[in-house]
A and B are shown apart, each in its own frame.
Chain A
Amino acid sequence: MSSQTTEQRERGATATGSISAVIDEAPPKSEKTSKATSRQPDAGLEEDRDTLVRLFHQMLLIRRFEEKCAESYSLGKIGGFCHLYIGQEAVGVGAISALRDDDYVITSYREHGQAIAKGISPEAVMAELYGKSGGCSHGKGGSMHLFDKRVNFLGGHAIVGGQIPLATGVAFASKYKETDQVTLCFFGEAAVNQGAFHESLNMAQLWKLPCVYVCENNMYGMGTSLERAMSLQNVAEKACAYEVESEFVDGMDVLAMRAATQRAVKRAREKSAPTLIEARTYRYMGHSMSDPGKYRTRAEIEKYQQRDPIKLFSITLKENSILNDKGISDLEAQVKEQVEQAVRFAEESPEPEPGELYTNVYANP
């Protein structure tokens, strides 16, 4: 509700303390800058060590995986469109960490990181990007269409906002079948301008569906800034039009993201009610690999990089004696090997058989 939104927004800003200085203001108007600062000690690290390390490990893995994707793309190993998640890792990792294994994730075309966080192996993701038969969609989907039924990852979808009605339907099915599974749906802020978003939120609240909608507000829809595209730029506030609960979160803070999603998942699982989460974040790379990003300045990107989600979290982990420098460099080494292994797998995986061209068009041909 609208009052809730404001309250939550303030709470989010308070909980994240000084680090929200940049995130809480829409660029490039903001003159403020802020240095990397850890979470406030009173924000508390209630999570156990294993969880904290796992979150950090996933974020680091996704960062290095995406850097490798950029390299492989430049070498012509990856074709088509390739949208990287660098800068946004805390959103996907934090949100997905709040789910049960049998919950669903459905998302957009910027989904390599979310696929890995939901449990698709980096090998299967990389092989898909390479167009190989060992890919999670057997080479038929590519970067924008990663699927894995075994981990309830219901795809990357490449029409902006198209996955939002789908997510609503997946949540509908959970309610219909009386399972208590929750559906988590990611989309960028540009998708909020699509009718699909509004039609979905209306139905989700009308029929009380267990769906958590996470808007990753990276402030650019391709090359068009938020302020050039959206009349009401506070996405979370839009939920009040449908009486959907909403929350504004610092998307650079993995623990804030996890906590907000946990609240939303609880609401979905226990009350069968939807939630809209707006996560303020930033993508460092272009919209896709073919985007040189001339619509924003180097200085603007650097400003956000000062609040890099991985850097912030590493400081938090060190300050709370969860990981020391050696622990972090050990993880770096482990992640490097994981990414190299993913590339080796993708390189070695065979191309799809030519006969696969005509399979999977119909389930009952």
Chain B
Amino acid sequence: MATMTMRDALNQALREELARDPDVFLMGEEVAEYQGAYKVTRGLLEEFGPKRVIDTPITELGFAGLGVGAAMAGLRPIVEFMTFNFSLLATDQIINSAAKMLYMSGGQFKIPIVFRGPGGSAYQVSSQHSQALESWYAYFPGLKVVMPSTPADAKGLLKSAIRDDDPVIFIEQERMYGMKGEVPEDEDFTIPLGVAEVKREGTDATIIARSLMVPAALKAAEELEKDGISCEVIDPRTIRPLDIEAIVESVKKTNRVVIAEESHPFCGVAAEISAEINERAFDYLDAPVKRVSGADVPMPYAKNLEQLAIPSFEQIVAAVREVSYL
């Protein structure tokens, strides 16, 4: 184990997988000579050369499609979006090409590609640079969607995503790149996609959180512990495929659920999880499922307004009290 930032854990995963498989290459805006807009790709150009670490023009639709085509012909591209906000320009290739190719070719063309980069809120970068887009991508059969919440998860999940034969949307949280944690250094360390992790065990209420909301949920759980409320915090880690069984197990134990997410509430992932819980574990619920979501507005610039738009641990605490009728 070594202590490192999420940024360095991701860098280590990229380095190990580039070294492991010559068919893996990395492309995106500023990934090579600039060393990455967020320095996730630092040092990779020097180590692997310009054939495998490729700076692209600002041409998201083009290089996303190029990546999918390269995957059709047997390569394993890692395509970095400088931020997932820019992936909106590439959605035709991600959705119409990557997600559907295996199916519409009757199983002939798999697309082993990773689209990765930061998503969610950042620091006062306003409406067009602060979006949580996971529910968009999770909507489509054919795509997998991964959102790590710790450096170790980031490394283990990214390695699995690169080795996976399907297109994976890998969303890193921009505010979490500097977050530190223990990371296994074993080159064979991977975390399987589709497996949730209980980040904290508890008995009175379940908080389901992903990405930036995991630290907030853990802080809320600590706060509630002071009042004798024992919270279980579950991180699905993979939005699709979703480990609904692990969630249902926890619900059966605690009978109360709060789902915390950065994204907008309408048609969001929390709405989907809530529906699944209603279908699978309604009889175990002692209170309606409660969502804590980002404000249903474009992200404002002003610091105070931005803070109001992002769910806080206090809101999670209040939600747990509400489902506990306290």
Contacts and interface: CB of A to CB of B under 8 A. Distances in A.
Interface residues of A, number: 46
B104 interface: yes
A362 B241 CA distance: 10
A140 B103 CA distance: 7
Nearest to A166: B69
Interface in A164-188: 164-174, 176-177
A203 B59 CA distance: 9
A173 to B, nearest CB: 4
A167 to B, nearest CB: 6
Interface string B49-77: 00100001101011111111111111101
* SS of A interface (majority): mixed
A145 B73 CA distance: 17
Contacts of B62: 165, 168, 195-196, 199-200, 202-203
Contacts of B61: 165, 195-196, 199
Interface in A127-172: 135-141, 145, 147-149, 154-155, 157-159, 162, 164-172
Given A162-B96, A165-B61, A363-B166, A173 B70 contact: yes
Interface in B66-102: 66-75, 77, 92-93, 96-97, 101-102
B29 to A, nearest CB: 13
Interface in B144-169: 144, 164-166
A164 B69 CA distance: 9
B124 to A, nearest CB: 30
Contacts of A155: 101, 104-105, 109
B236 interface: no
Nearest to B73: A173
Contacts of B74: 173, 177
Interface string B247-274: 0000000000000000000000000000
A167 B69 contact: yes
B108 interface: yes
A333 interface: no
B107 interface: yes
B141 interface: yes
Interface of A: 104, 106, 135-141, 145, 147-149, 154-155, 157-159, 162, 164-174, 176-177, 195-196, 199-200, 202-203, 206, 359-365
5 contacts: A139-B106, A149-B108, A169-B72, A199-B59, A199-B61
Interface of B: 25, 51, 56-57, 59, 61-75, 77, 92-93, 96-97, 101-110, 112, 141-142, 144, 164-166, 241
